[in-house]
Structure 1
Amino acid sequence: MNNPHIGSSFDDFLAEDGLLPESQAEAMKRVIAWQISEYLKSEGVNKSAFARLLGTSRSQLDRLLDPANTSLNLKTLSNAAEAMGKKLELKLV
Structure 2
Amino acid sequence: MPRKKLLFTIVECDAEEPCRVKWKVLNRGSEAERLDQVRGQIVDSTRSRTRSEVTTFHGDHYVECYVIKDSVVGARSHINVPIKSA
Q: Indicate the structure whose relative CO is greater, using CA pairs within 8 Å and at least 6 residues apart.
A: 2
Larger radius of gyration: 1
Give the structure-1-normalised TM-score: 0.33
Q: Which has the higher helix share?
A: 1
